[in-house]
Amino acid sequence: MEMLQIIVDGEATSEQQEYFKNHMDRCLPCFKSYDLDMAIKQLLKSKCCGGEAPTGLIEQIKSQINQNTPS
């Protein structure tokens, strides 16, 4: 999870990114967290640039990602 944070923040070395991408191919929990973190990060980014993020959009993204995963 610490590594995920580094990747999402764009602070990972190319070696770490490579390792994590390979890992995500086989690990659904990590893939899901990565997907979610990236979605939230994009959301915050667009908010910083002047866009208005509707309340509950993060929750919406979360449930979408959960729906995509067969239980």
* Binding residues for Zn ion (CB under 5 A): 27, 30
Length, in residues, of the chain:
71
CB of 29 to Zn ion, least distance (A): 6
Q: Which is nearer to Zn ion, 30 or 58 (CB)?
A: 30
Q: Which is nearer to Zn ion, 31 or 62 (CB)?
A: 31
Backbone conformation region of residue 69, classed left if phi is above 0, alpha if psi is from -120 to 50, else beta = beta
Q: Which is nearer to Zn ion, 28 or 44 (CB)?
A: 28
Structural contact between residues 34 and 24, judged by C-beta atoms closer than 8 angstroms: yes
